[in-house]
Amino acid sequence: MDKAVIGGTGVYDLDNKNISREVKTEYGTVKVDIITHYGEEIVFLARHGKNHSRAPHNINYRANIKALEKLGIKYIYATAAVGSFNENYEPGDIVVIKDFIDFTKTRAQSFLDSEAESVKHFDMSDPYCKNMRSKFSQRSLAKQLKIKGNAVYVCTEGPRFETAAEIEMFKKLGGDVVGMTGVPEVILAKELGICYASVAIITNWSTGMKDELDIHEFQELISAKKAKITEAFMHVFLEG
């Protein structure tokens, strides 16, 4: 068992046939589902909890990633709901994340929190696994799931949405989409040597892009894409 999916907003399971398990870590206890897909066990973790009960700034990212490591996970595909401030990426589109800009403020970003541990620095030139990204794009093509490019993800602290001025700034900095949960998940996976890739579903235009931010169709937009995205994950997991 070395493969996992982390489900973001709107992705709370993979299928119904699963076994729930609790994994204890020094950071807290994490509930995961283990599903069997064509004989292979795959771990599913709902990032916000099954009932979406944890806001982005309250998610126990270290417990989540540590729990996956304890289970032996080496590969993670994650989903993320995002707003877009790139005219080429519209609500309903799927983009693979290729890099991030971090605007979080209060989150524990590292496992290196004791003086006993020697200081290490982690290479961020390729934060999202290149191999998993390109395999996802290939499998999506085969599944008639259209992927639009590689995006730069700006992570904000939340839970509030961004101001229009902030979105203007993010545009100038070279971002494309904005979400609240990608950091520190990607960093923590890197620290533990786990290959991690993230696929974003655009749920809305960011603040100030078009009239008002319309968040009502989040769930519908995500439900429409969820099955195909997770099928593409499974294909990569099973066939490499």
Q: Which residue positions form the known binding site for substrate?
A: 180
Query: Which residue, 35 or 82, is less far from ligand HPA as judged by CB?
Result: 82
Q: Quick one: how far is CA 101 from the chain centroid?
A: 14
Q: Describe the crossing of helices 130-142 and 218-239 by its angle, rounded to 10 degrees.
A: 110
By CB under 6 A, tell whether 161 contacts ligand HPA.
Answer: yes
Q: Rounded to the nearest whole angstrom, what is the least distance from the CB of residue 156 to ligand HPA in the complex?
A: 6
Any contact of residue 7 with ligand HPA (CB under 6 A)? no
Query: Does the protein bind ligand HPA through residue 221 (CB under 6 A)?
Result: no
Q: Which of residues 97-126 bind ligand HPA (CB under 6 A)?
A: none
The binder of ligand HPA chosen from 11, 68, 81, 95 (CB under 6 A) = 81
For the four alpha carbons of 120, 126, 131 and 133, in that order, the dihedral sign comes to positive
* Torsion angle (degrees, nearest 10) of CA 149, 153, 158, 160: -50
Q: How far is the CB of 159 from ligand HPA (least distance, A)?
A: 9
Asked if residue 8 lies in contact with residue 21, where contact means CB atoms within 8 angstroms, the answer is no
Q: Does residue 127 interact with ligand HPA by CB under 6 A?
A: no
Distance CA 166, CA 209 (A): 12
The CA distances from residue 72 to 2, 68, 75, 206, in Å, are 5, 7, 9, 37
Please report, for residues 14, 92, 115, 152, 225, the alpha-carbon distance to residue 196 in angstroms, rounded to integers and kept in the order given: 18, 23, 27, 15, 20
What residue is closest to ligand HPA based on CB? Answer: 83
With binding defined as CB under 6 A, does residue 203 bind ligand HPA? Answer: yes
| Interface mask toward ligand HPA for 167-196; x: CB under 6 A | -----------xxx----------------
Q: Which is nearer to ligand HPA, 8 or 127 (CB)?
A: 8
Distance CA 138, CA 140 (A): 5
Summarize as ranges the residues that interact with ligand HPA (CB under 6 A). 81-83, 156, 161-162, 178-180, 203-204, 206
